[in-house]
């Protein structure tokens, strides 16, 4: 199996945020959660909101334009 970009996801105190996702994206998050659970040895896949958070974090951490803009402000 290929390595996923997301490793284990730590527990952290959440802040509630309500968003609407297209059905296709929700299905993809569910599928990713299943693959992630298998790759990391979890008994059950994480909920989509738990998977989405580290994906967003990783995206922002690797976005050079965002990093440059953040340094300037």
8 A C-beta contact, residue 36 and residue 4: yes
User: What is the reported pTM?
Assistant: 0.71
With a cut of 90, say whether residue 11 has pLDDT above it. Answer: no
pLDDT at res. 7? 77
Could you tell me which residues come within 8 angstroms of residue 27 by beta carbon, excluding any fewer than 6 positions away? none
CB crowding 53-69: b at 16 or more within 10 Å, else e: ebeeeeeeeeeeeeeee
Write the pLDDT tens digit of every residue in 29-55. Answer: 999 999 999 999 999 999 998 899 889
pLDDT at 2: 59
Report yes or no: 68 and 19 within 8 Å, Cβ to Cβ.
no
């Amino acid at each position: 199996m290929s390595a996923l970009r997301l490793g284990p996801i730590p527990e952290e105190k959440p802040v509630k945020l309500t968003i609407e996702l297209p059905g296709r994206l929700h299905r993809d998050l569910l599928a990713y959660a299943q693959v992630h659970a298998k790759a990391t040895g979890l008994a059950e896949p994480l909920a989509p909101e738990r998977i989405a958070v580290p994906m967003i974090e990783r995206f922002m951490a690797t976005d050079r334009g965002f990093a440059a803009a953040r340094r300037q402000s």
